[in-house]
Structure 1
């Protein structure tokens, strides 16, 4: 028996990707903390562009934990100029040590939000020289980040417009943004299930998470507000920094834009999943092998049981509700659920 989620498990709502006035966001770090605390979040990572800051002092109450990190980006332009018609890559770097504010591959052209004197005083990781947008450089950048104590997440692949073969070639990302509120509002295309499945078929078992990538240029509660739209349910043993990092490293979390999964257990090939009321519950064994549980009249379902085909190289689960919101789990290998 393998119990991934039990009804007694603690689940902490997290936004792992956000921006403040320290880069191109409209809210101060303090305002972000207050907004996400009021919205019921337990974990917040303020990941400003090329601007790593230790915000853990803002964890002034026991109900909200601040993770240290920043968003790094690599563009074809050597001056970091934005081009809406060319690809680029953005990576969230989440620090395993809450006081790690090192900059990977420091390049003043890209580090344009942090004051230069502050950036120069930070520890610099990797003798990478000027940023260069090609596959080998990106891989070296990821490697330096991981060796420097960061978890590396791949951000908004649809928005980034990278060639699929490039994305499939990278090694070392721990998780893929399955949902990104800001990018979804921009194009409607930032739900990355097909890419996730292609990675799995290449043997790349990235985890999946949801995040807002919020800049808060629109007021809370309006149609284009980019806060509170996608998040990650972290299955940590408690709300301590190292416990949360350990859960992220192990893949003890899932991505959601609404539904909550309350039970996910494996008895070898037999799976039981319970959740908040949903329209459909799906077990994915490949794009051609997906088992659906639903009621023909469309009434809600909260319980599903599946038998995973013997030949399935992996399985992951989706919970869908009528308004299009969804929860998606990471993929499980046969050696995990058949033990």
Structure 2
């Protein structure tokens, strides 16, 4: 028996993409902590644009901030935003909670920083002018990893990136399944199809969801961009180091609402238990995934399937009647022992 999600492991709710008044967000870090803690979150990463900053001063016994920031790469050498051009956004999460190193510093990208702050930054990696190309992006990811970060790939739909380029990116540990702010903006930033293609092509990448909230609207407004995409993380203990370890090892899953209670495998037999949902689907890289649907007016909370011998990977997706989904990462055959 192998537990992909163990019923014995405590799950902590996390928002791993968030903006504050240190960049273009409307809430202070302390306000963000208070609002997310009130909503049942235990983990928050305040990932301001090109602004690596530890917010560990906000931590308490029930709430931990993960140090990180959002980097971006555009075609324009001065980092100008273009509504019709492709770009790449990456979240960098620091192994050391106090690490405020910036990777591949380029002054035009640091528009939210004062000149004094720019001068005082610890800078590592190449400082050549950023270039929107697969080779540069892969080099950026490599240098981030060599200097204490793990790297996540953000909102591919919003970024208008083409699949061919994405398939050539190397080194990001996870991608945003749902970026809620972008989802509210474009209604398509649920990236299950892209994620399945990455797995099918042998990319051992995890998935997570996050808000990417800027809080331009109050919490009760229809355009509020908080509380819609989150990640359930399962660390051995509730400490920074164990949270980071769980993220790095993929001990987490993505959600827009539903939750998993257990996902286990015994040989090629998979067992799933979850919150009440409309459907449970198991993807394996085939044209026809395993699935069960609830009858009208009812829900399902468990399912059992036998996985095909030719399965390339296994991942589980559950969806409620509102269309909100939760997704495990992809597990490959070498992890599943069949």
> TM range, normalised to the smaller chain?
over 0.9
1:2 has 2:7 as partner: no
CA distance in structure 2 between the aligned counterparts of 1:287 and 1:157, rounded to whole angstroms: 24
Alignment TM-score, normalising by the size of structure 2: 0.98
Whether contact under 8 Å (1:108, 1:116) holds in the other structure is: no
Mapping of residues 244-263 of structure 1, within 5 Å: 244-263=243-262
1:54 has 2:46 as partner: no
CA distance in structure 2 between the aligned counterparts of 1:84 and 1:239, rounded to whole angstroms: 41
The match for 2:291 is 292
Mapping of residues 317-332 of structure 1, within 5 Å: 317-332=316-331
Whether contact under 8 Å (2:234, 2:252) holds in the other structure is: yes
Deviations 1:178-203 (A, max 9, x none): 00110001100101011111111211
Whether contact under 8 Å (1:179, 1:230) holds in the other structure is: yes
- Count of aligned pairs between the two proteins: 338
Mapping of residues 186-335 of structure 1, within 5 Å: 186-335=185-334
The match for 1:19 is 19
Alpha-carbon deviation of 1:266?
0.6
CA distance in structure 2 between the aligned counterparts of 1:105 and 1:117, rounded to whole angstroms: 18
- Larger deviation: 269-278 or 126-135? 126-135
CA distance in structure 1 between the aligned counterparts of 2:13 and 2:334, rounded to whole angstroms: 29
CA distance in structure 1 between the aligned counterparts of 2:294 and 2:87, rounded to whole angstroms: 43
Alpha-carbon deviation of 1:116?
2.2
Whether contact under 8 Å (2:181, 2:213) holds in the other structure is: yes
SS of equivalent residue, structure 2 residue 243:
helix
The match for 2:162 is 163
CA distance in structure 1 between the aligned counterparts of 2:118 and 2:111, rounded to whole angstroms: 9
CA distance in structure 2 between the aligned counterparts of 1:77 and 1:191, rounded to whole angstroms: 28
CA distance in structure 2 between the aligned counterparts of 1:238 and 1:28, rounded to whole angstroms: 28
CA distance in structure 2 between the aligned counterparts of 1:127 and 1:311, rounded to whole angstroms: 44
SS of equivalent residue, structure 1 residue 194:
helix
Alpha-carbon deviation of 1:298?
4.8
The match for 1:88 is 87
Q: Which runs of 5+ in 2 are unaligned?
A: none
Alpha-carbon deviation of 1:204?
0.4
Whether contact under 8 Å (2:72, 2:87) holds in the other structure is: yes
CA distance in structure 2 between the aligned counterparts of 1:41 and 1:259, rounded to whole angstroms: 15
Q: Which runs of 5+ in 1 are unaligned?
A: none
1:69 has 2:68 as partner: yes
Alignment TM-score, normalising by the size of structure 1: 0.98
